[in-house]
Structure 1
Amino acid sequence: MDTATRLELYRTMVLIRTFEEAILREYHADKKPVFDIGAGAIPGEMHLSAGQEPVAAGVCAHLTVDDAVTAAHRPHHFAIAHGVDLERMTAEIFGRVDGLGKGRGGHMHLFDPDTHFSCSGIIAEGYPPALGQALAFQRRGTDRIAVAVAGEGAANQGAFHESLNLAALWKLPVVFVIEDNDWGISVPRSASTCVTSNAVRAAGYGIPGKRVEDNSVEAVYEVAGEAVARARAGEGPSLIEVHTLRLWGHFEGDAQAYRSDLEGLPGRDPLPTYERELRTAGVLDDDAVKSVAAEASERVEAAIAFAKRSPEPSPESALEHVFA
């Protein structure tokens, strides 16, 4: 892999982590002294993607804004990697009128027609809409593709299997991505899933399936490149499962009493791991690391400030922008 690509993957991962750390800070800032999920500038549930940056960075590096991405309820990393406007996305998370959905969707329901990005709080919901997008791209004779992302728990949903079947039958240009972070909320995959890898399920639909075990952004990049090229060439869908890592709770406020692996999590963090790898390869040095971090921080803090300046929707506008 060339140096420019490796540096861009690192830059994307740093931007995602910087954003999630800032949202974590802002989310908890006014929920004290007793945690109240409904209080504060960012009310409601919050699912953050720290540890899963390699999946989004590695997959989206092969996409353009003309390609479509449907994500799950933990969506920020894919939104950022796919180029969703950071300021408007942040305003939406804060529930403000300058947000992507004018403050009506919140962080689990981001929708951006400019980059063909959407997500949902419903498990596996994004898979069928990705088929519709892929079908439209195919009918128009383009080389555009759709990417559908979900967690490993979603692979037990009917929508997952129905979507794989129809995509394979019609040879649709879609790449299915499963993020296996070991936990479906508080349930370990061993207690919910009969196979050790969801990638093997691809064979049941006659399509390629590959699993990336080590949460390596470069390994994801390589496997995703093959799947994207296959889809663009009209050869049909592929399934990728990445064994990734959820560094934080399922949602903010999650005590994680069910987890036995918390003590070892920092050592598995993919960001310092990749930074060390790039330093050893001579791609990064102290100055480059500081520069990337400063650039990410500047963008993120500008987005936070933009969101805070944006007004909240007025009660009188509650029924506007609801139906098309």
Structure 2
Amino acid sequence: MDRVVSEANMSDGGEPGPVYAGDLMVGGDLWRRIFDAIEDPVFIQDADGTILSANRATQNLLDVSEPDLIGNRCYAVVHGTESFIPECPFVRASGSHTRESYVIFMFERWFRISIDPILDDAGRFTGAIHILTDITDIKHLDELRSRLAAIVETSEDAVIGATQDGRIVSMNASASRITGLSRDVVETPNIFSVVTAGDEERWEEAIRSVVGTGEGIRFESVLKGLHDNESEVSVGIAPILDERGAPGGVSFIIHDLTPRRKAERALVAYMAEAALRMKVPLETVAQEIGRMTTLLTGGSLTVAEASTILRVQKAHIDQIVQNLADLNRAVAESDEEIPEAYRHFLSNR
């Protein structure tokens, strides 16, 4: 048996003697101290719900002394009602003879009310232990986690949680779409299964660096998807810290760059085509106007002749403008993935 030394129990020689735990049970004092030391409000009821005893936490919560609680029904002091509330766990426990609980909002806080039945030797219900556990902080944390989970799940970026060796433990819908990995696979996939050949070493080094330094890393890469389709992506890797603040895994936030890269290539192609359509005709127009200006200044060209040349060059410029308009329309109506603002501009809407 564990021993506790107390100055109240002295040996004949004046030295402290041993005090056994059983000695502290005199008058139920130890039981009462334990009862009052419990932070959750707890009270004991008889078979009809009458309060027989209440700990200090119950008195503090209800702002009522124990003598004023004893003899009252639980529903009167907790809920302020004249009878048991619907789906009362006490009523359920009296019939099921097992622990019953439910969650309720009262006193501007969320509580889980748990009822543990007290049975006699014959298994008859003789009362219960009524426990109120304040779960407000837990509920708020759960709500926050639910909101964050909804944000992650609906994100267009792939969000993946993995162990330090790359084994995937969670992923959102976008991750499944970008990587082609099923969220219902029997065997746990590994992030390296979607990394293109030759790029695995860079990913391994990045993960080791994140785990070792605790600092995130971002880089661009190419991932394999369904049917060997490849996606150009921006990858962010960050540590997932455990309760000690030590890395327990890594998270990947992957942004699909493929649409942007396609748009960039489409716009580069457009700019090259536009330049080709304008370069030679505009150089020709510029040369003709320059030659006309020289002849006109030297008196070798009349104003009427100059006017005729200008009308011809204007027709050339009008044709160039029409060619660009045709090109703009073709690009705007194409299936190329270009930014909507550019498509709007090119279509002259």
Q: TM-score under structure 2 normalisation?
A: 0.18
For the pair shown, which has the larger CA radius of gyration, 1 or 2? 2
Q: TM-score under structure 1 normalisation?
A: 0.19
Which structure dedicates a bigger proportion of its chain to strand? Answer: 2
- Which structure is higher in RCO with an 8 Å CA cutoff and minimum separation 6? 1
